A and B are shown apart, each in its own frame.
Chain A
Amino acid sequence: MHISEGILSPAVLIGGAALTAAGVAVGMKNFDQKEIPTIGILSAAFFVSTLIHVPAGPVSVHLILNGLVGLILGWKAFPAILVGLALQALLFQFGGITTLGVNTLNMAFPAVVCYYIFGNGMKPGTGRSVIIASAFGAGFCSVLMSGILVGFSLYLTGEAFLPAAKLMVAAHLPVMFIEGILTAACVLFLRKVRPELLEEPHVPKQST
């Protein structure tokens, strides 16, 4: 999923960086102090998730966990994923500093979309099967959207869109299922241990 340096055109890089900056700004707005440790822990989980490899035919891909990050953090997924990706770029040379903006956008934007689509399933009082289905959907769709966005970034630079996107999506198909299952397992676990973590972001805040 990490786009290397030197592939995308400067316009795409700048555009991605600008959109990421906007996303981070939205995420940092009305930032509650209590949420800081949660953001940090999810950022660390995202950082480590790339090390869990899933062999998928000729290539092997790794988990991304952006669905889980999005479900719990919403717009705050932008700062969390930015930090994780920056460290991956600095320590492992995955991606790169110039592509940081585009890579963050490609992974954090689907997280935010999943927050809005599947977040309803996290509300208190929903049935177990609904929760499992929404968590699976979030894990599955976030990876799918990330793949499509990477294909789209390549398309904007001049590569043919369909082959690039198809390849990305096909290669990540096993990851989508695994991410879906893993996200569902995590959500079920969190619901048992710390339900407020899941429910809080989806309950409309009382105006004080």
Chain B
Amino acid sequence: MYRNNRHKTIHIRLKTKVSCLVFAILWCWFFPVSVSAHKVTIFAWVDGDTVYTQSKFSGGKRVKNAPVLVYDPKDVLLLEGKTDKNGMFSFKIPQKTSLKIVLKASMAHMAVWQIPVEALGGTEPDNAAKPDGLRNSLRPSSGSMDVQTQEQVSGSSTVALGKREIEEIIDASLDKKLAPITEILADSIHRGPGFTEIMGGIGYIFGLVGIALYFANRKRKR
């Protein structure tokens, strides 16, 4: 009687142990508390004369205090810096060539983002030639901008808006409108592996096992 009881309690204990283990594994799987160190990504975008970069581990954790290196197309180092605690690093555009931004996270992880020359083309910093008044008048919201341009045209004090000014107006409003989209894009780039990929991978492995067995069987039959 006593022995039987003892057996039972051991059995129950084992059961709870196993279920704890299973639960722990499932919990780790479904709630990746913080993030893996398998992969890092860097995402960079141009806003005005500044390049902003955001660095994350796959899964969304920010890469803190990691060196970011900026190269020109000939792989000459232009500048370097470190990400802050939000994984952000920004710098003024050093020159108008395409830029290669390299993130070097710890433990052999690295990510690269290229900025093509076109992305920098509209952001020439040489506005010294322009009268300051004109530049300021172009900055406010689009409503008043229309009025001012019309005034200027009707006043014919200057030749109609130059190509550069028009570009600048468009850039300013585009930057504003695209800001949320670039943020969404930055977030969507840093996603971890999805369920379909995991299942797909397991399927591949089982498929390979099938193929291997098929050939092994054929060999034996001969």
Interface of A toward B, CB cutoff 8 Å: 2-7, 33, 36-37, 39-40, 43-44, 47-48, 50-55, 58-62, 83-84, 87-88, 91-95, 150, 153-154, 164, 167-168, 171, 185
| B residues 29-43 in Cβ contact with A at 8 Å | 29, 32-40
B-side contacts of A3, CB under 8 Å: 108
- The answer, yes or no, to whether B64 is at the interface (CB within 8 Å) is yes
Name the one of B59, B202, B216, B220 contacting A36, with C-beta atoms under 8 angstroms: B216
* Chain B interface main SS type: mixed
B-side contacts of A4, CB under 8 Å: 39-40, 108-111
> Given that A3-B108, A47-B202, A154-B108 are contacting pairs, would A92 and B33 also be in contact in the complex, using a CB cutoff of 8 Å?
no
The answer on a CB contact under 8 Å between A44 and B205 is yes
Query: Interface size on B (CB < 8 Å)?
Result: 42
CB-defined A-B contacts under 8 Å, sample of 20: A4-B110, A7-B108, A7-B110, A36-B209, A37-B209, A48-B198, A52-B25, A53-B28, A59-B57, A60-B34, A87-B204, A88-B38, A91-B193, A92-B39, A92-B58, A92-B193, A150-B107, A153-B108, A168-B108, A185-B21
Bound CA span A39–B220, Å: 19
- The answer, yes or no, to whether B5 is at the interface (CB within 8 Å) is no
- The answer, yes or no, to whether B61 is at the interface (CB within 8 Å) is yes
> Given that A6-B112, A59-B106, A154-B108 are contacting pairs, would A83 and B36 also be in contact in the complex, using a CB cutoff of 8 Å?
no
The answer on a CB contact under 8 Å between B208 and A83 is yes
The answer on a CB contact under 8 Å between B36 and A88 is no
A-side contacts of B107, CB under 8 Å: 59, 150, 167-168, 171
Bound CA span A84–B34, Å: 23
Which partner residue on chain B sits nearest A147 by CB separation?
Answer: B107
Name the one of B21, B36, B58 contacting A61, with C-beta atoms under 8 angstroms: B36
Bound CA span A150–B38, Å: 13
B-side contacts of A84, CB under 8 Å: 205
Q: How many A-B residue pairs have CB under 8 A?
A: 116
B25 to chain A, nearest CB (A): 7
The answer on a CB contact under 8 Å between B212 and A55 is no
Interface of B toward A, CB cutoff 8 Å: 21, 25, 28-29, 32-40, 57-59, 61, 64, 106-112, 192-193, 197-198, 200-202, 204-206, 208-209, 212-213, 216-217, 220
Bound CA span A7–B64, Å: 20
B-side contacts of A62, CB under 8 Å: 36-38
The answer on a CB contact under 8 Å between B205 and A53 is no
A132 to chain B, nearest CB (A): 14
A-side contacts of B198, CB under 8 Å: 48, 51, 91
B-side contacts of A91, CB under 8 Å: 193, 197-198, 200-201
Which partner residue on chain B sits nearest A31 by CB separation?
Answer: B216
Bound CA span A44–B111, Å: 27
B202 to chain A, nearest CB (A): 5
Bound CA span A50–B140, Å: 51
B-side contacts of A60, CB under 8 Å: 32-37, 61
Bound CA span A44–B199, Å: 10
B72 to chain A, nearest CB (A): 17
B190 to chain A, nearest CB (A): 12
Query: Told that A36-B216, A59-B37, A60-B33 touch, could you supply 17 new A-B pairs with CB distance under 8 A?
Result: A2-B39, A2-B108, A33-B217, A36-B212, A40-B208, A40-B212, A43-B205, A47-B202, A48-B198, A50-B36, A51-B36, A53-B35, A60-B32, A62-B36, A95-B38, A150-B108, A171-B37
A33 to chain B, nearest CB (A): 4
B-side contacts of A43, CB under 8 Å: 205
A-side contacts of B35, CB under 8 Å: 53, 60
